[in-house]
């Protein structure tokens, strides 16, 4: 019998090479990354039943990804192993704007070849939420696989969740990126984006939430985060903290929000729920950015609860 999952995630799992001295050339530190992968690990560390649909190479980096994801409590049985293509790698560019921080080397890599035929069809009947980012839509076969997965999930009544997560360097053109990302926004029930991403996509968050009946979340780094949903608007500004590394901030926020959604949605009034949810997510993100790394910076439940007291 297939397991029941709270959140199923689909998308990139890769290795980030981070310059240790903030410059290129220089020494690099290899860390496991990829936004859907990071969110999966964040959910696993919070105790949520989570599985990851991704594709990695049959190489040392792919093995490292599998071990790291599994250590966070994520089910890895649906991660595809590609015998021909290598695991995708990314160079984190120092002193670059957020959308341009990552140079992603994915041409002919495993991440670009996620195969829908290797995904058990019944898995979409055994999850509450399907979460993804926009990056998979920039790669040929993975794009088709994600599209089919979203269509199949929606047909089964699964809630669809998108973290826009724009990476302009991974697209053929900005026009194509905007077109594809707006299409993903249209089919998603939960949409998270930054303030800058909303401007790039020419989206008015409040109007989107009201007209399309979506949960729309907008973050802005260390500034106020806002949720529009169910005719509610709630906002939360993070406390003043010493920021060490912003790498895991957005993924920590997303994993914390999804944790709160599957755990508490429907158990309180809409206004109280979203106020508590944004409070929880902001605290999680604040903990993450005070530590180095992405997955290693993601907090466990006890840490968030302690910081909220």
pLDDT digits (tens, 9 = 90+) for 181-232: 999 999 999 999 999 999 999 999 999 999 999 999 999 988 999 999 988 9
In the chain, what are the domain boundaries? 12-308
Kindly report the pTM of this predicted structure. 0.95
pLDDT digits (tens, 9 = 90+) for 248-264: 899 999 999 999 999 99
HEC profile of the chain? CCCCEEEEEECCCEEEEEECCCCCCCCEEEEEECHHHHHHHHHHHCCCCEEEECEEECCHHHHHHHHHHHHCCCECCCCEEECCCCCCEEEECCCCCHHHCEEEECCCCHHHHCCHHHCCHHHHHCEEEEEEECHHHHCHHHHHHHHHHHHHHHHCCCEEEEECCCCHHHCCCHHHHHHHHHHHHHHCCEEEEEHHHHHHCCCCHHHHHHHHCCEEEEECCCCCEEEEECCEEEEECCCCCCCCCCCCHHHHHHHHHHHHHHHHCCCCCHHHHHHHHHHHHHHHHHHHCCCCCCHHHCCCHHHHHHHHC
pLDDT digits (tens, 9 = 90+) for 263-289: 999 999 999 999 999 999 999 999 999
| CATH 3.40.1190.20 for the 12-308 domain, yes or no | yes
């Amino acid at each position: 019998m297939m397991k029941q999952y709270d959140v199923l995630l689909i998308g990139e799992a890769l290795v980030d090479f981070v310059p240790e001295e903030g410059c290129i050339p220089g020494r690099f530190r290899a860390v496991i990354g990829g936004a859907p992968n990071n969110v999966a690990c964040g959910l696993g560390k919070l105790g949520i039943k989570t599985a990851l649909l991704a594709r990695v190479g049959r190489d040392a980096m792919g093995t490292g990804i599998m071990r790291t994801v599994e250590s966070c409590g994520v089910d890895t049985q649906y991660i595809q192993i590609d015998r021909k293509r290598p695991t995708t790698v990314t160079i984190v560019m120092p002193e670059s704007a957020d959308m341009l921080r990552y140079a992603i080397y994915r041409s002919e890599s495993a991440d670009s070849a996620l195969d829908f035929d290797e995904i058990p069809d019944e898995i979409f009947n055994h999850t509450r939420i399907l979460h993804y980012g926009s990056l998979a839509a920039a790669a040929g076969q993975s794009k088709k696989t994600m599209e089919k997965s979203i269509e199949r999930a929606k047909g089964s009544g699964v809630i669809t969740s998108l973290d826009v997560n724009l990476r302009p360097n991974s697209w053929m053109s900005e026009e194509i990126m905007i077109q594809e990302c707006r299409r993903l926004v249209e089919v998603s029930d939960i949409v998270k984006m930054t303030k800058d991403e909303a401007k790039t996509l020419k989206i008015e968050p409040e109007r989107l939430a009201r007209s399309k009946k979506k949960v729309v979340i907008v973050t802005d780094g260390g500034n106020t985060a806002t949720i529009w949903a169910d005719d509610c608007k709630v906002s939360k500004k993070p406390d003043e903290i010493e920021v060490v590394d912003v790498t895991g901030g957005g993924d920590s926020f997303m994993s914390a929000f999804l944790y709160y959604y599957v755990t508490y949605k429907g158990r309180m009034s809409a206004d109280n729920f979203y106020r508590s949810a944004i409070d929880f997510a902001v605290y999680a993100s604040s903990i993450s950015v005070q530590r180095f790394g992405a997955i290693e910076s993601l907090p466990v439940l006890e840490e968030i609860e302690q910081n909220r007291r």
